[in-house]
Amino acid sequence: MISADDLRPAAPPEVQAVMQQLRAARQGGAGRAIDPLAMQAADMASAAWFNHGEPATPEAREVTIPAGGGVRALVFAPDGGASHGSPVLLYMHGGAFIVWSPEVLAAVTRAIATKSGVVVVSIDYRRAPQHTHPSALDDTVAAYRWLREHAAAVGGDPRRVAIGGDSAGAMLAAGAVHRLRDEGGVPPEAMVLICAWLDMAMDSPSFRALGPDDPLIDDTIMRFARSCYAPDPASWAHPYVSPLLGDVSSLPPACVVAAGLDPLFDEARMFAGRMRAAGRVVALHEHAGMLHDFVLFPTIERRHRATDQIAAFLREHLAG
Span 277-301, pLDDT tens digits: 999 999 999 999 999 999 999 999 9
Domain for residue 27, yes or no?
no
Residue 6 counted as domain residue = no
Q: What is the model's pTM?
A: 0.95
Please indicate whether residue 133 is annotated as part of the active site.
no
What confidence tier does 69 reach under pLDDT thresholds 50, 70, 90?
Answer: confident
Query: Is 226 part of any domain?
Result: yes
> Could you tell me the pLDDT band of residue 26, with boundaries at 50, 70 and 90?
confident
| Residue among 167, 204, 206, 242 flagged as catalytic | 167
Task: Compute the average pLDDT of residues 103-126.
Answer: 97
Residue 47: partners with Cβ closer than 8 Å, 6 or more residues away: 101, 103, 104, 106
Concerning whether 167 is annotated as a catalytic residue, the answer is: yes
Selected catalytic residue, list 262, 287, 293, 317: 262
Domain range spanning residue 176?
Answer: 11-22+34-317
Model confidence band, residue 9 (pLDDT cutoffs 50, 70, 90): low
Number of structural domains found in the chain? 1
Candidates 238, 285, 287, 292; catalytic one: 292
Residue 1: band (very low, low, confident or very high) from pLDDT cuts 50, 70, 90: very low
Residue 4 belongs to a domain: no
CATH number at residue 253: 3.40.50.1820
* Active-site annotation holds for 292: yes
Phi-psi category of residue 234: left, alpha or beta, with phi > 0 → left and psi -120 to 50 → alpha: alpha
**Section 291-312 average pLDDT:** 97
- Residue 159 within any structural domain of the chain: yes
For residue 149, being part of any structural domain is answered with yes
Amino acid 73: pLDDT: 98
Q: Is residue 200 pLDDT above 80, yes or no? A: yes
